[in-house]
Structure 1
Amino acid sequence: MGATVRGVEVVPVRVEVVVSGGLPGMAIVGMPDAAIQEARERVRAALRAAGFSMPGEKIVVNLAPSHLRKTGSGFDLPIALGILAATGQIDPAWARDALYVGELSLDGRVRPVAGTLACAICARRLGLDFVCAADSDPVPLDDVRLLAMTSLAQAAREGGAAAVLPAHGGRAVSVAAVEALDFAEVAGHETAKRAFQIAAAGGHGLLMMGPPGSGKTMLASRMPSIMPPLCPDEMLEAAVVHSVAAEPIDAIIAGERPFRHPHHSATLAGLVGGGSPLRPGEVSLAHHGVLFLDELAEFKSSVLQGIRQPMESGSVMLTRADGNVTFPARFMLVAASNPCPCGYFGDEERECTCTVPQIRGYQNRIGGPLIDRIDLHLDVRRIRPAEILERRRGTSSAQLREGVMAARDFASWRASQMASMEPDGSIEALADGPRRFMIAQAELHAMSGRAITRTLAVARTIADLAESQEIESAHIAEAVNFRVRDGIGGK
């Protein structure tokens, strides 16, 4: 049994091999892609290198179901074992009741392939053993029997017995020791740090706008330091996406949330997914983590508008001629942009050289519908030299993270205490005073329905940070302050 990856799901494929009379050769049928067709030469060389004989007859390999397009080099191993079983060179029973995934080198070694973790989950679902390369990505599953093959020669040497892997399988998890970035290293910007704490506590999107050198990228790069670790379910979902994209998963298995930072030249397929075969984009690789878009206004407008739907639904559906593929994309958006082409509109120390039409055109590149979906809007100003040189440490990541964890714990407790709770952010959940205050603010700033709902969701997070069961007017006032921009760049 083999498997093919479709999106982040794995479809089992039955590998059938028949050796019959006729001109020597190998034919692979069942809608294989170019990588699978090339398996014919790799399998021939690998079998000979491992000490097996290649039959001098007609070999037909069928990949069932035949209507499904198959991709990837992971079919090398099951095809080779199928040929060996069909010719009686190994016990046919060994090729049953297991799902095999692996690419073969010309000397017979078994190499890892993308999507190993997703294939292991498929094997668990089918109740099969899972056989892969010994140095595959770790598989954090305890309820599937993991077996390893280093080479085809192992089948000849040990009569087909594969080595049993430890519970997490594959190579050991190894995360490089990297010095963690800390918010304490950022001089000033206490208001910005508060905004980041609110965003981390409630999973809200955040947009920073300010001149060059004001610290936008420095602040964003420290967001992972205050995020809570991944829970087991989140870890598995995020690791599967990275596995099928052939991205490292060690840090994710260790509990770290993904932090993706694509360049502003990224294409629509690179950001939301696509290509042939289909590959998850940056929004999916940031699943359960942070997507940081620096120089937001420099992205192509069509690319930016492509992330609006994933921000709402938490997933990306790509439609192709052979069907739909869905990638998960529940991410936190952190974005940064200059307010104008020269970057200094609204700066207190340096004069802007842009005209009003240039400023409006630059900011309109982002688009109102996308901005309306971002919960927190933050104006970031340059810190004065004297404050930078004071070397006074501000609020640290540990302090901010403590508040984030406390807020999330309080939100969980609050939900458990209320049997029939209104959804967070609903106007019905407000007392008369906060309700009137919210209505007044919405009318004053001409808020849309989405803006009102998202402002109240931020106010709910602020109330959780204060461990308050009720949303008060002060919480709404702070949420509105972060929603309505009144500094650099205007409203």
Structure 2
Amino acid sequence: MPASSKETGRCCVHAATLRGVEAMPVTVEVSVSAGYPGFAIVGMGDVSVQESRERVKGALRACGFRMPEHKIVVNLAPGSLKKTGTGFDLPIAAGILVASSQVDPRVLEGRLFVGELSLQGDVRCVAGMLAYALCAKRQGLGLVCPASMDVAVANGVECGVIESIGDLRFESLPPLCLEAAPLDAKAADFCDIAGHDVAKRALQIAAAGSHGVLMMGPPGSGKTMLASRLPSILPPLAEDESLEAAVVHSVAGLDIAPILAGVRPFRSPHHSASLAGLVGGGSPPRPGEISLAHHGVLFLDELPEFSPSVLQGIRQPLELGRVSITRADGTVDFPARFQLVAAANPCPCGYFGDPKEPCRCTVPQIRKYQGRIGGPVLDRIDLHIDVARESSSAVLATGQGSSSAALREGVMRARAFAAWRAARSGGFATAGAESRKPEADLAGRAVSPCGRGTHRRAPKELVEACCLADDDLRFLENAADKSLMSGRALMRVLSIARTIADMEESERVCRSHLYEAIGFRVRGCEI
């Protein structure tokens, strides 16, 4: 409970600091006492926190308050936690005003303060407002901050809107009343792409089972267009997924309106991205592109052009669905359950394997170029497909291809069937039962596209879910031995086959499903 004393000039204010994508509670202790005039902030604050002294002084004077001509000490507790950001401006200013008896101490009761001050006394939003709102909710506190759509989506948080530091003269603050603006953006549709039926089929399988995709083909064959339309066949974000993804974007200072509307994130970083930019890092650590693609799609165009060390950084997040950034003051975890889609040219000139345009690269150049991706990363990508250039007549027939609506219907049915199997078996559904769930009961029931796909499951569960016949099992073993598949690649093939079977609403994985799944691991221009 915040307290104030005229004799000692002390008070406490609830605040918070960002650590990763979570706001950690901080107590701002303010002491105004007799002594040589000064203003000190202690408690592991970074440069932006130390600079708040000048912003607070200017803001108080601009709003008609007096800056106490006494010794002011601000302690940010706990001292072992590093504090970052300009969000401490408002709680520090509020603490000084209460400790110097310029505002009623009741204004601090049961409230968490966050906001940056201008020299005119205006209060501004800071990055991560949604995380701060969730922190206040966990502590059972109200939130005092500027009007922000990020805060409006945090249900169960009483928010008092403050526009200027002068509003602290009043104990009651106006409530937050914001409504999300309608999203008018029109999603790109697969019907814009003529032909490419095999690639569309592969992307539909990928959307149904949360599989990674590598598309390889010559320049201008349509790889980027295909990848950019993958979100149009994914189901909208569930409520919990939307909140998780919105927190990451809020911490990064990005617009969360599309995510709140159910649109899955689609991130396409340039190939010059650094390891910190792609995976996360910095001081303080901030989420990278793989975390901004949480519950969405990460598209890496021109995959061999990325630095090999940067590409190797996504290996662990692909398996675990999170990334841990370790620094001297501790480890920060960022969520990173994303669907990887990559595109690459087969060689430096781009025409290796093209039937019309001759390749001008030497064999060593081709091997060096393809080797930049690295086997461990390739092994973690489920579907490998070749995207050939279409004829001129096919390109001009735009608007006549398979639509996203038709492809999405197949995705939703496959997810619904997979959800039914899992619910019936209490986990990963096994085949062989004689009963069938009515089609009407399957509608709308879908498995999450990021993080709970079949390839994330234990190998034993996956094998049991496929329920292969003995001759099909021997066929798969022989195919794996001939293709020199690793154990991981074999499980990826099996997971793709399970997804294909779900798309056909088949409880058992059959030989035809295995044929198609293996075909997506053996490519003409293999790296």
Q: What's the TM-score once normalised by structure 2's chain length?
A: 0.89
Tell whether 2:386 aligns with 1:350.
no
Moved more, 338-347 or 475-484: 475-484
Letter of the aligned partner of 1:261 in structure 2?
Answer: S
Aligned counterpart in structure 1 of residue 380 of structure 2, from 373, 386, 392: 373
Give the gaps of 5 or more residues in structure 1: none
Letter of the aligned partner of 1:160 in structure 2?
Answer: E
Distance 2:423 2:61 in 1: 64
Tell whether 2:244 aligns with 1:234.
no
Per-residue deviation at 1:490? 3.2
Alignment partner, residue 13 of structure 1: 26
Alignment partner, residue 292 of structure 1: 299
Alignment partner, residue 433 of structure 1: 471
Number of residue pairs matched?
Answer: 483
Per-residue deviation at 1:175? 5.4
Letter of the aligned partner of 1:90 in structure 2?
Answer: V
Alignment partner, residue 161 of structure 1: 172
| Cα contact 1:344–1:351 (8 A) shared by 2 | yes
Alignment partner, residue 74 of structure 2: 61
Tell whether 2:266 aligns with 1:259.
yes
| Cα contact 1:138–1:173 (8 A) shared by 2 | no
Alignment partner, residue 218 of structure 1: 225
Tell whether 2:161 aligns with 1:118.
no
Cα offsets for 1:430-485 (capped at 9, x unmatched): 22232122112111211110001111111111111111111111111111111111
| Cα contact 1:102–1:133 (8 A) shared by 2 | yes
Per-residue deviation at 1:87? 1.1
Question: Residues 90-489 of structure 1 correspond to what in structure 2 (within 5 A)?
Answer: 90-135=103-148, 137-156=150-169, 159-166=170-177, 171-174=178-181, 176-391=183-398, 393-419=400-426, 421=428, 425-426=462-463, 429-485=467-523, 487=524, 489=525
Tell whether 2:497 aligns with 1:490.
no
Alignment partner, residue 52 of structure 1: 65
Distance 1:419 1:334 in 2: 31
| SS of structure 1 residue aligned to 2:491 | helix
Cα offsets for 1:345-375 (capped at 9, x unmatched): 0001100000111111110100011000000
Per-residue deviation at 1:14? 0.2
Distance 1:188 1:425 in 2: 33
Per-residue deviation at 1:172? 3.5
CA shift in 2, pair 1:392/1:133, >3 Å = closer
| Cα contact 1:2–1:78 (8 A) shared by 2 | yes
| Cα contact 2:18–2:84 (8 A) shared by 1 | yes
Per-residue deviation at 1:106? 1.1
Aligned counterpart in structure 1 of residue 37 of structure 2, from 13, 24, 46: 24
* Identity within the alignment, %: 60
Question: Residues 83-94 of structure 1 correspond to what in structure 2 (within 5 A)?
Answer: 83-94=96-107
Per-residue deviation at 1:187? 1.0
Letter of the aligned partner of 1:470 in structure 2?
Answer: R
Distance 1:67 1:296 in 2: 41
RMSD of aligned alpha carbons = 1.4
| Cα contact 2:106–2:171 (8 A) shared by 1 | no
| SS of structure 2 residue aligned to 1:324 | strand
Distance 1:138 1:173 in 2: 11
Per-residue deviation at 1:197? 0.5
| SS of structure 1 residue aligned to 2:377 | helix
Distance 1:381 1:138 in 2: 47
| Cα contact 1:311–1:330 (8 A) shared by 2 | yes
Alignment partner, residue 74 of structure 1: 87
Give the gaps of 5 or more residues in structure 2: 1-13, 431-456
Cα offsets for 1:95-137 (capped at 9, x unmatched): 1211111001111111000111111111111111112111453
| Cα contact 2:183–2:261 (8 A) shared by 1 | no
| Cα contact 1:85–1:92 (8 A) shared by 2 | yes
Cα offsets for 1:257-295 (capped at 9, x unmatched): 100000000000000000111100000000000000000
